[in-house]
A and B are shown apart, each in its own frame.
Chain A
Amino acid sequence: MINNLYSLLNTTGFVHLTPGMIVMWVIGLTLIFLAIKKQYEPLLLLPIGFGILLVNLPLTGLMEPDVGLLWKFYHYGIHWEIIPPLIFLGIGAFTDFGPMLANPRLIFLGAGAQAGVYITFFASHAMGYNIMEAATIGMIGGADGPTTIFIASKLAPQLLGACAVAAYSYMAMVPIIQPPIMRLMTTKAERQIKMAKARPVSKREKLLFPIVSTFLIILLIPASAPLIAMLMLGNLFRESGVVERLKGAAQNELMNIVTIFLGLPIGATMHADIFLQPKVLFIFVLGLIAFILSTVTGLLLAKAMNLFSKEKINPLLGAAGVSAVPMAARVVHKVGIEADKRNYLIMYAMGPNVAGVIGTVIAAGIFITLLAP
């Protein structure tokens, strides 16, 4: 009788609980709290948080290879590199490259912010992470969730959960992290610089951009093809004006569906045994450093460009070179307004902001070209 009771008890999850699992519940519940109460990237942090809870319930087998439901989502969606490019299709359908085309020199600010990615890569490797892990950690500085997930799935799948959560957390915290750095790195006079009026961009230019840039970037960095191709296809849907249904599907239905299938398995990669290691937890510190460095290098590049340029750039725009769209551009606008109430920077900041998306993809493509097995 006692043996039967013991066997019965053994089939429940209660006796298989570990302290690590309970710590992970707290982390999962914290993410769910932040998503609901603080609205920090709720579309991703909510399913990620729930995924963490699920995978840290014992005996579920949800991440058991070939069998588990969440393993299938992970394997066919992320490991097969299907979901991040589909997210990029939606981003392309949402993105107006007009502000970037109107002021193309601001593109370089999107490149400047990538310096933080490479500095963190170098620092992470020096601190003992292997070269592929270091590249994945560095990508957090690009503040681009799908690209971080894409590169992690290729180079360091064991760090996927931590890197994805770090990337999305810092993207959500752009309004907290960036403004003090922007104020520290610029004078009030610099923040008050008014941008020259941007030239108008014709519809034909907007239409040609996704086609020309697809050829150019993929010919230069073939490894960036999955992300750039989908980004520009989405943008072509938007700018062509003849496939409103496809544009709408990419922006809404498809984006929403893939977001669910992205967040849940990412959370499910965060099992206590894998996640609660100093090496993994330290990624959050390095990710924050990467993000700060990307902001700093963007600001410094904008200041450097002013040394050689007749038309001055408001250096705050450099901070928009990280690709958290449109949050970073909004933050630039807000800090600009604080210095001068009539200085509207939002449309100018969207230029480096969308250039940052392209810059991050190029940076990821280079890592993959040089490091992928």
Chain B
Amino acid sequence: MSPGGIFIQGIISVFFGMTMLYLSIKITAFVVDRMALKNKGEARDDK
């Protein structure tokens, strides 16, 4: 692969990787929040 190709592919790949990481953090935070809310609801129902 040419240096220009590596340059472009490299930058795109780093941003793509970080975007995927960003999305995974957002999704994890969402799931964890939902689980926390659900647990809180169940605890209230038990009372």
Contact = CB atoms under 8 A, between A and B. Distances in A.
Interface of A: 100-101, 104-105, 107-108, 110-111, 114-115, 117-119, 121-122, 125-126, 131, 134-135, 201-202, 204-205, 208-209, 212-213, 216-217, 220-221, 355, 358-359, 362-363, 366-367, 370-371
Contacts of B6: 118, 121, 131, 135, 367, 370-371
A362 B18 contact: yes
Q: Is the interface of B mostly helix, strand, loop or mixed?
A: helix
B3 A125 contact: yes
Nearest to B31: A208
Contact of A114 (B14, B24, B26, B32): B14
Given A122-B3, A363-B10, A370-B1, A108 B25 contact: no
B25 A217 contact: no
Contacts of A209: 25, 28
Contacts of B17: 111, 217, 220-221, 359, 362
A100 B18 CA distance: 12
25 contacts: A100-B25, A107-B18, A107-B21, A108-B19, A111-B18, A119-B7, A121-B7, A125-B3, A126-B3, A204-B32, A204-B35, A205-B29, A213-B21, A213-B24, A216-B20, A216-B21, A220-B17, A220-B20, A355-B18, A358-B21, A359-B14, A362-B13, A366-B9, A366-B14, A370-B6
A201 B9 CA distance: 33
- Sorted nearest first, the 10 A-B pairs with minimum C-beta distance are A111-B18, A104-B25, A362-B17, A125-B3, A114-B14, A118-B10, A122-B7, A366-B13, A111-B14, A204-B32
B36 to A, nearest CB: 7
Sorting the interface of chain B by its residue count into under 10, 10 to 19, 20 to 34 or 35 or more gives 20 to 34
B32 to A, nearest CB: 5
Contacts of A367: 6, 10
Contacts of A111: 14-15, 17-18
A134 B16 CA distance: 23
Contacts of B28: 205, 208-209, 212
Contacts of B19: 108
Given A208-B32, A209-B28, A366 B18 contact: no
A129 to B, nearest CB: 10
The residue among A111, A114, A220, A221 with the most chain B CB atoms within 10 A of its own CB is A111
A205 B31 CA distance: 9
Given A125-B3, A134-B3, A202 B25 contact: no
Given A108-B19, A119-B7, A216-B24, 4 more contacts: A126-B3, A202-B32, A202-B36, A208-B28
A101 B14 contact: no
A358 B14 CA distance: 10
B22 A107 contact: yes
A181 to B, nearest CB: 20
A266 to B, nearest CB: 25
Question: Which among B3, B15, B25 has the highest number of chain A CB atoms within 10 Å?
Answer: B25
Contact of A101 (B9, B18, B25): B25
B14 A131 contact: no
A334 B42 CA distance: 47
Contact of A118 (B7, B21, B24): B7
Nearest to A124: B3
B34 to A, nearest CB: 12
